[in-house]
Amino acid sequence: MSKPVKTQPAIGDRIVHKVFPPISRHTLVLYCGASGDHNPIHVDLDFAKAAGYPDVFTHGMLVMGYLGQALTDAVPPPRLRMFSTRFVAITQLGARLTCEGHVSELVEHDGERCAKLALTTKDENGDLKLAGEAVIAL
Amino acid sequence: MIAPSLIGHSLSPVTAHVEPGRLRYFRETLGETNPVYGDVKAAQAAGYAATPVPPTYLFCLEMMDAEQAFEFITVIGVDIGRLLHGEQRFTYRAPVVVGDTLKFQPRIVSVADKKGGAMTLVGIETKVTNQNGTHVADVSRTVVVLNPKTA
């Protein structure tokens, strides 16, 4: 687990960093049940091929789940005000993901002192999968 | 072609229960071991009445307890194999913990063609309230529909 976020972070500080194990077919099947997202494209190879994909691929929300885990390893959940992401590219099977977050801005948000974090999730080749943002109370 | 007249269309509300067993299954799937999510004492020390949900779990609850998990696909009239997730946002307003009963009220807020009609972005925003009527969160997503090539 990362060390707890300082109450006076500086712009550019990296406060989120976590590496996850490779994504397996088993993980995708478990996530299908755990999340309620039963879209067959993530677990049924026949369906994925018929839809024009070479293989099944990771649920975007599983990847965002990992990013959220990395985030609240570093930031106590009660401090989280907003968490968003753009799904930049499909995450393939076997991807080993690294989630990071840097302080991008110090802001007032509904009368509270907050920091904005710029978040990324990249695979083992450094390819960007998720580009996100969080607002945390300081 | 997805009709822009769908903007403002409300989807069926969903009532969802934050159940400890399926929440544990979610944590185990993600390898989530942070005690604040799994240990009541750690959650209480962090200021919660009970163990809270991880940051993306509201998205799951809405799908799990919907009568039709992919109702919006039927409403917009596309095949599920043509969807991708474009963007996702959670705004947190109050704690959500095990034992809560949540009401999700989704509606379509945008429909926009991109890349010369090759794709259509559909925005859905969902207000989430709890059993006390407290507005606990807003969840919004953008779904990418890959349109079939027209001859």
How do residues B51-85 score in pLDDT, each as one tens digit? 999 999 999 999 999 988 788 888 888 999 999 99
A83: closest CA among B125, B126, B139, B30?
Answer: B139
pLDDT at A65 over 50: yes
Residues 90-119 of A with CB under 8 A from B: 90
Say how far apart CA B92 and CA A82 lie, in whole Å.
6
The answer to whether A83 faces chain B, any CB pair under 8 Å, is yes
What is the average pLDDT across B93-102?
A: 98
Q: Report the DSSP beta bridge partners of residue A99.
A: A18, A121
At A3 the pLDDT is 55
pLDDT for position B148: 83
| Cβ atoms of B70 and B130 closer than 8 Å | no
Q: Tell me, what's the pLDDT at B83? A: 92
Return the pLDDT at B151.
47
Is the pLDDT reported for residue B147 higher than 70?
Answer: yes
Predicted-complex ipTM score: 0.95
Residue that wins the pLDDT comparison between B39 and A9: B39
Tell if the CB–CB gap between A38 and B32 is shorter than 8 Å: no
Per-residue pLDDT tens over the stretch A75-88: 999 999 999 999 99
pLDDT of residue A110: 84
Is the CB of residue A117 less than 8 Å from the CB of residue A101? yes
Nearest to B55 among A1, A60, A71 (CB): A71
Residues facing B73 on adjacent strands: none
Look at chain A and count its residues: 138
Q: Are B120 and B79 in contact (CB under 8 A)?
A: no
Rounded average pLDDT over B124-137: 98
> What is the pLDDT at residue A5?
63
pLDDT at residue number B68: 84
pLDDT band at B150 (very low <50, low <70, confident <90, very high): low
Contact B65, B126 (CB under 8 A): no
Count of CB pairs separated by less than 8 Å, A with B: 116
- Put simply, whether the predicted model's pTM sits higher than 0.90 gets the answer yes
Instruction: Say yes or no to pLDDT of A32 above 80.
Output: yes
pLDDT tens figures, B33-45: 999 999 999 999 9
CA gap B28, B38 in Å, rounded? 10
Share of chain A above pLDDT 90, in %: 91
